[in-house]
Structure 1
Amino acid sequence: MNMRSTRSTVTFANAFTLSGYSGELPAGDYEVLAEEELLQGLSFEAYRRAATYLMVRGNGRTEMRRTTDSDLKKALSRDQARTEMSNHSDAAHSPQEGLK
């Protein structure tokens, strides 16, 4: 079976949780490792996601937390919604410019 791995970085603006793991992870940049396997028997090259890992660094070590692409996207969506809600809340409490 032919496999390939790709790495990317995701950024969380807020502390977040990841499905299947207890406790919150701090805001910051996290490396994502995606492993894909080559689909056999096709007339063109295609890959299927086999595993997704979030690299969590702390206490001088790195832990590979297995997750799903779907759970990672949900965590990122929750983070974005939380950031937008915070930004709207801050704007509502900011003094309005141009009023005298």
Structure 2
Amino acid sequence: MSTRTTESTVAFEHPSSLRALDGPQPPETYRVMIDEEEILGVSFRAYRRTATLLQTPAVSVRGGLSQSHLVDRADLEAALEADGKASRAS
């Protein structure tokens, strides 16, 4: 079974909290890694998400140690949606 990891970034304009992290994170851009495994036995190439990782500190922070936190996909999407609503209300 093959696996793949894709990397992207998410940007928060306001302090945001995720259950997997200790306390709110500052408004910054963060690196997100998504691990997926191939679904075998189908007639086309398909993958299922197995993990969503958020890397701290933010992308703009240079030096020091970084940590990857296993986060719930729905929790991350909800935090991004709440951040967007807060931005539109400002």
C-alpha displacement of 1:69: 1.7
Equivalences, count: 86
Q: Distance in 2 between matches of 1:54 and 1:61?
A: 14
What CA RMSD, in Å, does the superposition of the two structures yield over aligned residues? 1.4
Q: Is the 8 A contact 2:34 2:51 kept in 1?
A: yes
Q: Is the 8 A contact 2:32 2:52 kept in 1?
A: yes
Sequence identity of aligned pairs in percent?
36
C-alpha displacement of 1:72: 0.8
C-alpha displacement of 1:9: 0.6
Q: Distance in 1 between matches of 2:33 and 2:54?
A: 7
User: Greater shift after overlay, 12-21 or 28-37?
Assistant: 12-21
Flag the structure with higher helix content: 1
Q: Distance in 2 between matches of 1:64 and 1:20?
A: 11
| TM-score normalised by structure 2 residue count | 0.88
In structure 1, list runs of 5 or more residues that go unmatched: 87-100
Larger RCO (CA within 8 A; separation ≥ 6): 2
Given residue 82 of structure 2, which amino acid in structure 1 is its aligned partner?
R
Q: Which residue of 1 aligns with 2:41?
A: 41
Q: Distance in 2 between matches of 1:12 and 1:46?
A: 30
Deviating above 4 A after TM superposition, structure 1's stretches of 4 or more consecutive aligned residues are: none
In structure 2, list runs of 5 or more residues that go unmatched: none
Q: Distance in 2 between matches of 1:61 and 1:22?
A: 16
